[in-house]
């Protein structure tokens, strides 16, 4: 079970320690897999994690980074990370952004992460440009966003009530092109598809703890299966990240879109590299 705090960050209900946070996110699977993906790019370098929330990224990247800086506009989440995650980890620090534009004060990182962030902002073009500015030449930006095809432009189906917009693959590619960013694209999916099955059957996304009226025996049964998925049949083992090849759409449904942006090519006009 999880909650959204006033800033939109997710945290484990009743969680009081970094161990609680690590266990909850690792059990949920999808977010943990993204940070496993990021470890391959960290290579003991410096990583800035935009939208760090309560600091799960520092725990997930421990041992793979030389320096970790977590940034978020959510003061409550950052304070929790400073109190619960920072002590004993001199290589990790957390800072509050008073405004997304404050990103421009940070520079020179090897890798910039923005997992599940772009859908929260009203100026996605400005965000992507600022992300590129965080990274040294030769570095990488990694970002992810929920697949908007699964919400069909209906805010009530958004993964979070704090989302401004969820992008489908076509819209996300158009956003990258508008910023003149070359990128390799990936998709993330659950191997049994149970997350998307639950969303379609119940009319709400997995992970949003909204009430479901048990209007029929079938709905009650699906709600039970849904709860079982959320609490037991989960973890990184159920999730995969695959690179899109030759611009072809994947043959199976997917829940998340990811992009790897080489900063060498960040200012060069053109379509994303594998789209």
Q: How far apart are CA 21 and CA 1, in angstroms?
A: 12
Domains defined along the chain, listed by start:
2-191+235-264 (3.40.50.150)
Tell whether pTM > 0.85. no
Kindly give the interhelix angle for 30-42 and 18-28, rounded to the nearest 10 degrees. Answer: 100
What pLDDT digit, counting tens, does each position of 85-134 carry?
A: 999 999 999 999 987 678 888 999 999 999 999 999 999 999 999 999 99
What pLDDT digit, counting tens, does each position of 192-203 carry?
A: 776 665 555 545
- Using pLDDT thresholds of 50, 70 and 90, give the confidence band for residue 209: very low
Asked if residue 9 lies in contact with residue 72, where contact means CB atoms within 8 angstroms, the answer is yes
Q: Are strands 109-115 and 92-96 parallel, antiparallel or unpaired?
A: unpaired
What pLDDT digit, counting tens, does each position of 217-229 carry?
A: 665 565 566 556 5
């Amino acid at each position: 079970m999880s909650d959204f705090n006033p800033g939109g960050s997710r945290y484990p209900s009743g969680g009081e320690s970094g161990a609680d946070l690590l266990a909850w996110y690792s059990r949920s699977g999808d977010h943990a897999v993204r940070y496993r993906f990021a470890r391959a790019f960290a290579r003991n370098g410096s990583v800035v994690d935009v939208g760090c929330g309560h600091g799960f990224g520092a725990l997930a990247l421990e041992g793979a980074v030389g320096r970790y800086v977590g940034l978020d506009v959510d003061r409550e989440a950052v304070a929790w990370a400073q109190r619960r995650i920072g002590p004993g980890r001199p290589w990790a620090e957390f800072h509050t952004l008073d405004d997304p534009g404050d990103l421009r004060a940070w520079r020179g990182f090897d890798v910039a992460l923005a997992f599940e962030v772009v859908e929260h902002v009203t100026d996605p073009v400005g965000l992507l440009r600022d992300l590129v500015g965080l990274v040294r030449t030769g570095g990488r930006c990694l970002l992810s966003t929920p697949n908007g095809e699964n919400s069909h432009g209906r805010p009530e189906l958004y993964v979070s009530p704090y989302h401004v917009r969820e992008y489908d693959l076509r819209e996300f590619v158009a956003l990258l092109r508008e910023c003149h960013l070359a990128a390799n694209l990936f998709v993330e999916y659950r191997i049994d598809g149970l997350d998307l099955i639950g969303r379609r059957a119940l009319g709400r996304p997995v992970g949003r703890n909204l009430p479901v009226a048990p209007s029929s025996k079938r709905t009650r049964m699906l709600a039970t299966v849904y709860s079982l998925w959320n609490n037991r049949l989960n973890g990184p083992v159920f999730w995969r990240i695959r690179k899109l090849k030759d611009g072809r759409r994947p043959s199976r449904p997917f829940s998340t879109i990811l992009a790897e942006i080489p900063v060498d090519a960040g200012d060069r006009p053109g379509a994303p590299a594998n789209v």
